[in-house]
Chain A
Amino acid sequence: MAEYLIKNGFVFDPVLGIRGDAADIAIKDGKIVETSAVKSPKVIDAAGKTVMAGGVDIHAHVAGPKVNIGRNFRPEDKLFNCKPGHGIERMQGGFSVPTTIRTGYDYAHMGYTTVMEAAMPPLYARHTHEEMRDTPILDQGAYPVFGNNWFVLEYLKNHEIENTAAYIAWLLRATKGYAVKVVNPGGTEAWAWGLNCENIHDPVPYFDITPAQIVKGLIEANEYLGLPHSMHVHANNLGTPGNYQTTLDTFKLSEGIKPNSKFGRDQVMHHTHVQFHSYGGEGFNFESKAPEIMDYVNTHDNITIDLGCVTLDETTTMTADGPFEHHLTELNHLKWANADVELETAAGVVPFVYSANNKANAVQWCIGLELGLLAKDFMRVFLTTDHPNAGPFIRYPRIMKWLMSQEARDQQFDAFKHKDKVIEATNLAGMDRELDLYEIAQMTRAGPAKSLGLAHMYGGLAPGLDGDVAIFDFNPNEPYAPDDIEKAFGNARHLFKSGVQVISDHEIASNGNKRTLWVNAKVNENPQVMRDVKEKFLRYYTVTLNNYEVAGHHYVPNPYVIEVDATQ
């Protein structure tokens, strides 16, 4: 493999603790190495440019059944944005739900190299893997959903942590999954009857268990196994004014639990797209409770969160929170797709237009940014849009601009139709904090990598880490306009993925060697769980047990398996 030496760039790297000093970064055999270790490298002149590790997205909906529902039922999402293939690039199309090909390229253009698919219905694992296979460049993994799974509900009703853990290990292997995802715990099972669970003590119909028991039990099972990532939750009551109390209640379920993982993470709960969960007030008088939420996050170091920033675009919402999507279609009267999945989960998909003319949407925009600006530790607070729910991922550079520039935020405030009411319901207008690129690198690289238990591979530029390096046309030491940030970080000049140059002078130069990450957790033999699995497949599933497991080269052609031993 070629050797590279990236010379004289302004490096921002939380792993090495470099805050914009000029430094050289060397790549050899797919890894970052000491500069002395390369003999005759290809030299990339990065003088006057910004150098960071490849970006890591901890939460995005980019592959799988509900994403494809979004693509197929929204031809209008492809209007005026299709791009012909050329050279090694295949045809691309789509805005809020881009084709897999575009997904890979657009992330690469932003300097991202690792993207986690945030919700994989286990029965549809093959579909998710086929889409990831056809997404170029990126390393990816997918989180199977557990929070409404009948096995989990039955085990945790009696607090059977060991059985839950054995089932998790089995399902991760069967689906080639990466982490334990929980979406609207219990509420999605209730949705199978058209109902919901509206707080953490609202019992699940028939199963006689509460969301609190599910979340706490899954944290414990996750730590029993010592998985790389923590339990990753989207709490009950998403999107409802006054829901911040449910969010705080959910946070508190992590109290007193310590991480048990060899993978270097410090949290036992990752709460995703917190913007959607930080609402006070009621009805149309809803308001920001970001300060209350961030007070909690800042003072409890065993949780991490991601923002879920609203980008004020027309987008396509999609979530395993089935009752929420039904609520949304009642609200905006746009088309609605729903897909309930036997014994496991559900999903809903509804287009949504976030408008600067709508007070509620503007308040949501403020809340997402407030969460970021109120954060004390950016190794625990990550930049996302819950793509495509609060906005498409291609807006990350715009969010960086808003986080880094009060001037940019003021411009947006001035564009709001109900500016005064928005300011009244939020706190953002009074905040003058401007994040720097070091903090951005924590939020988009080192932080998510650590939370995922992948700090030994991604998120930094220390020798031994994967050769994932992005170079942007941005000189932090010269005056710049806010829009320069968005422009530079949306269009990397060069990008290296595992030591391969995938972008050269802004052009896609290689489709890379994408890998699929999954976790193989070994547990002691558990005859009861295996008997339960057999019985459920015999009686309730519509596929046989032998046809359930994802196996075969055509689903996971280039696996990267992370082994976990929980037999002790």
Chain B
Amino acid sequence: MTKTVTDVVCPFCGTLCDDLEVVVSDDGKDLLEVYNACAIGAEKFLHSQAKDRITRPRMRQEDGSWKEISYDEAAEYTARILADAKKPLMYGWSSTNCEAQSIGSEIGEAVGAVMDNTATVCHGTSLIAVQDIGIPSCTLGEVKNRADRILFWGCNPAHAHPRHMSRYSIFPRGFFTGKGHAGRKIIVVDPRVTDTAHVADVHLQIEQGHDYELLDAFRVAFKGEKLPDFVAGIPKEKIYEVAETLKSGRFAIIFFGMGVTQSIGKNHNIDAAIAVTRDLNEYTKAAIMPMRGHYNVTGSGQVWGWQFGFPFAVDLSRGFARYNPGETTSNDLLRRDEVDAVFVLGSDPGAHFPFSSVKKIYNLPSVAIDPHETPTTEVCKVHVPVAFVGVEVGGCAYRMDNVPIETRKVVDAPEGMMTDEEFLKRVFARVKAIKGV
């Protein structure tokens, strides 16, 4: 006999779909089938069942081999490198629940760490822009129920947020959007003819790296002012046309991604995109939303927000919270040799940081807490495998529109494995003992 768990929340991307159905064995130990998920989400659930999964902490030996250690030994090592460091980096926090993030904050306070999350290489520049200009936004249900103008700028949900288009943005029929896709105009701005661009009414194939110019051109076009013949490779007629399309809608939404946050201009690109949204509110209703990547990167920004006042790059090393992107951000700290220990949880900087930063981690006391074997575990001194949040343990996660949803446990973790939260509690206890607090 099997049983089906409904309303399962997918712990992959910021879309945080909560309508998955997962079939598990009667004893709750085996996960058999996954319904409603995208290819990536399904793989995430199924991979938790891999027979070759690493289930015990391990420590790198002199000769490069791994030696299995106990969770207590792993907690001791982790507490020790954090407590001994002058300025440890505690990075990641995006693929875990808010409860683990919260304990992490307390550890960070106790040891004077720099806390940074994956926004630092994702939407950190968006967070900076919001501090400059604010952000008129909404929940995804507002998009579903009202939006008739959808603009994807430098993002490719067909690949990165596979169910976004069907659940929220392009296809769903909502309260005031009974015609679904037919009632909406879809615009894509991207230097490539992406799979998302294929579903669009208009694709503006912008010259890579010229987003700021084109965004500004829209602000000019809204006001009916003069434009040069081409901006960012787009003919001005097209810009006027799209500007008119946006203005004539009842509810316009701009979704943006790494195309604007990681290209040259960085936060200034987002400033301009938000200014476009503000301008549109003079003519109609408009909102803008970052397409957040990890399923709970948003949550870590929220937890740090209410505990420290800043959404990423929080330096606690002086005893109080400081924030200065470019200085207190992970890659800058690593490149400048300003941290002396590295703790990673719920992220894979080994794969997703520029290699020059990865090499620095390799040369420092380091621990990676991650269910997977990853390039990060490959370069760290200790690897602590843990239960998958959202699969083997529940907890709170925040969707890309900041809506908090309680993830569900669907199967048991392999015998004897700890969760992030349990392991961190053990580390915290050790830190307190070492620090005598």
| Residues of chain A whose beta carbon lies under 8 Å from any beta carbon of chain B | 63, 65, 67-68, 71-75, 77-78, 82-85, 90-94, 97, 99-101, 123-124, 126-127, 130-131, 134, 150, 192-194, 206, 326, 329, 334-343, 346, 349-350, 539-544, 546-547, 551-552, 554-555
User: Does B402 have its Cβ within 8 Å of any Cβ on chain A?
Assistant: yes
The B293-344 residues at the A interface (CB cut-off 8 A) are 301-303, 305-311, 316, 318-323
Asked whether A192 lies within 8 Å of B285 as measured between CB atoms, the reply is yes
Residues of A within 8 A of B303 (CB): 130
User: Does B182 have its Cβ within 8 Å of any Cβ on chain A?
Assistant: no
Name B308's contact: one of A91, A329, A554 (CB within 8 Å): A91
Asked whether A542 lies within 8 Å of B305 as measured between CB atoms, the reply is no
User: Does B138 have its Cβ within 8 Å of any Cβ on chain A?
Assistant: yes
Which residue of the partner chain B has the closest CB to A94?
Answer: B309
Asked whether B144 lies within 8 Å of A342 as measured between CB atoms, the reply is yes
Asked whether A335 lies within 8 Å of B284 as measured between CB atoms, the reply is no
Asked whether B305 lies within 8 Å of A68 as measured between CB atoms, the reply is yes
| B419 nearest CB across to chain A (Å) | 13
Give Cα distance in the complex from A67 to B309, angstroms.
10
Name A192's contact: one of B9, B142, B321 (CB within 8 Å): B142
Asked whether A340 lies within 8 Å of B307 as measured between CB atoms, the reply is no
Name A337's contact: one of B130, B285, B404 (CB within 8 Å): B130
Which residue of the partner chain A has the closest CB to B140?
Answer: A542
Given the known A-B contacts A193-B251, A540-B144, A542-B140, are A68 and B302 also in contact in the complex, defined by CB atoms under 8 Å? Answer: yes
User: Does B379 have its Cβ within 8 Å of any Cβ on chain A?
Assistant: no
Which residue of the partner chain B has the closest CB to A129?
Answer: B404
Give Cα distance in the complex from A71 to B19, angstroms.
32
| B305 nearest CB across to chain A (Å) | 4
Give Cα distance in the complex from A194 to B282, angstroms.
9
Asked whether A85 lies within 8 Å of B144 as measured between CB atoms, the reply is no
Asked whether A65 lies within 8 Å of B130 as measured between CB atoms, the reply is no
Given the known A-B contacts A71-B306, A192-B146, are A339 and B7 also in contact in the complex, defined by CB atoms under 8 Å? Answer: no
Which residue of the partner chain B has the closest CB to A341?
Answer: B139
Residues of B within 8 A of A546 (CB): 6-7
| Residues of chain B whose beta carbon lies under 8 Å from any beta carbon of chain A | 6-7, 9, 18-19, 98-99, 102, 106, 109, 127, 130-142, 144-146, 167-168, 174-176, 250-251, 278, 281, 284-285, 287, 301-303, 305-311, 316, 318-323, 394-396, 398, 402-406
Residues of B within 8 A of A127 (CB): 302, 398, 402, 404
Asked whether B311 lies within 8 Å of A342 as measured between CB atoms, the reply is no
Interchain residue pairs A-B with the least CB separation, the first 5: A342-B141, A335-B134, A84-B319, A340-B138, A82-B320
Which residue of the partner chain B has the closest CB to A195?
Answer: B285
Which residue of the partner chain A has the closest CB to B408?
Answer: A547
Given the known A-B contacts A73-B134, A546-B6, A547-B9, are A540 and B309 also in contact in the complex, defined by CB atoms under 8 Å? Answer: no
| A170 nearest CB across to chain B (Å) | 18
Asked whether A194 lies within 8 Å of B281 as measured between CB atoms, the reply is yes
Name 23 interchain pairs, CB-CB below 8 A, sorted by A. Answer: A71-B310, A72-B305, A72-B309, A75-B310, A78-B310, A93-B308, A94-B309, A127-B404, A130-B302, A192-B146, A194-B281, A329-B134, A335-B134, A336-B134, A337-B135, A338-B134, A340-B287, A342-B139, A543-B403, A544-B18, A546-B7, A547-B9, A547-B405
Asked whether A78 lies within 8 Å of B278 as measured between CB atoms, the reply is no
Give Cα distance in the complex from A394 to B131, angstroms.
24
Asked whether B403 lies within 8 Å of A73 as measured between CB atoms, the reply is no
Give Cα distance in the complex from A130 to B99, angstroms.
9
Name A90's contact: one of B109, B136, B398 (CB within 8 Å): B109
Given the known A-B contacts A126-B404, A130-B98, are A72 and B301 also in contact in the complex, defined by CB atoms under 8 Å? Answer: yes
Residues of B within 8 A of A541 (CB): 141
Give Cα distance in the complex from A124 to B133, angstroms.
24
Which residue of the partner chain B has the closest CB to A127?
Answer: B404
Give Cα distance in the complex from A134 to B139, angstroms.
25
Name A543's contact: one of B130, B394, B395, B405 (CB within 8 Å): B405
Residues of B within 8 A of A75 (CB): 131, 309-310, 323
Residues of A within 8 A of B394 (CB): 552
Give Cα distance in the complex from A93 to B175, angstroms.
42
Residues of A within 8 A of B134 (CB): 73, 329, 334-338, 349-350
Residues of A within 8 A of B131 (CB): 72-75, 335
Residues of A within 8 A of B284 (CB): 194
Given the known A-B contacts A90-B109, A126-B404, are A134 and B142 also in contact in the complex, defined by CB atoms under 8 Å? Answer: no
| A6 nearest CB across to chain B (Å) | 32
Residues of B within 8 A of A194 (CB): 281, 284-285
Residues of B within 8 A of A90 (CB): 106, 109, 307
Asked whether A91 lies within 8 Å of B320 as measured between CB atoms, the reply is yes
Asked whether B174 lies within 8 Å of A65 as measured between CB atoms, the reply is no
Residues of A within 8 A of B287 (CB): 338, 340
Residues of A within 8 A of B167 (CB): 542
Asked whether B7 lies within 8 Å of A542 as measured between CB atoms, the reply is no
Which residue of the partner chain B has the closest CB to A77?
Answer: B309
Asked whether B321 lies within 8 Å of A340 as measured between CB atoms, the reply is no
Residues of A within 8 A of B302 (CB): 68, 72, 127, 130
Give Cα distance in the complex from A460 to B250, angstroms.
53
Give Cα distance in the complex from A99 to B310, angstroms.
10
| B105 nearest CB across to chain A (Å) | 9
Name B133's contact: one of A68, A78, A130, A335 (CB within 8 Å): A335
Residues of A within 8 A of B321 (CB): 78, 82, 91, 93
Asked whether A547 lies within 8 Å of B306 as measured between CB atoms, the reply is no
Asked whether A126 lies within 8 Å of B135 as measured between CB atoms, the reply is no
Asked whether B396 lies within 8 Å of A340 as measured between CB atoms, the reply is no
